[in-house]
Structures are given as structure tokens and as C-alpha cells.
């Protein structure tokens, strides 16, 4: 795998805080050979997400947690590797 390959986590990634343990795991994931994409679930730290400015990426808005950990935002259409998909989650409203 390369950084051009994507692993997608479908909800509850665990972006919770800036503790030493959480920073360790974000660094560990960033050093992997792939890029991690994730969609939020019920158990994210929405206050932390609010502080990250969204940018355009592959047709939709995203938030970069690290250069290779990317949060896919709700209500967006993405085109990744010729596959187009829409991310919609029917839970509570996002707080970002």
C-alpha cells in the first residue's frame, strides 16, 4: 500500500482528545503506508473538530487531522479513484 491507497473508517474513529495516548495513536496511524479516511459517529470530540478549518478535497469538504488522517464531512459528495459517493449520517446534527 501507498499513501495513495485509502482505508475508510465508518464512524466512531475515536478522535477524542489531545492526551498523550491519543497523540501516540494519531502519530502511529500517520506513519502507516496508507491514508486513513474517516466519517464521524456518535463518539467523536466535536469541539476539537470545530477548531479545524474545512478544505476542499476530491469534490467535498474535509478536515485534515494529520496529512494522512482525513475526516470526511457529512453531506458531501466525494470522488475517490473514480468512485463517487455521498456521505449522509442520520444521527444527531454535527457540531462542526
| Model confidence pLDDT, tens digit, residues 30-39 | 999 999 999 9
Which of 83, 84, 89 lies closest to 10, judged by CA? 89
pLDDT at site 91 = 62
Question: At 96, is the pLDDT very low, low, confident or very high (cuts 50, 70, 90)?
Answer: low
pLDDT at site 88 = 82
Cα separation, 70 vs 86, whole angstroms: 16
Which of 3, 8, 19, 5 lies closest to 71, judged by CA? 8
Amino acid at each position: 500500500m501507498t499513501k495513495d491507497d485509502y482505508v475508510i473508517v465508518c464512524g466512531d474513529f475515536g478522535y477524542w482528545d489531545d492526551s498523550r495516548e491519543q497523540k501516540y495513536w494519531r502519530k502511529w496511524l500517520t506513519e502507516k503506508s496508507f491514508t486513513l479516511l474517516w466519517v464521524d459517529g456518535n463518539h467523536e470530540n466535536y469541539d476539537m473538530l470545530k477548531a479545524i478549518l474545512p478544505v476542499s478535497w476530491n469534490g467535498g469538504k474535509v478536515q485534515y487531522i494529520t496529512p494522512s488522517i482525513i475526516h470526511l464531512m457529512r453531506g458531501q459528495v466525494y470522488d475517490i479513484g473514480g468512485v463517487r459517493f455521498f456521505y449522509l449520517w442520520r444521527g444527531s446534527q454535527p457540531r462542526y
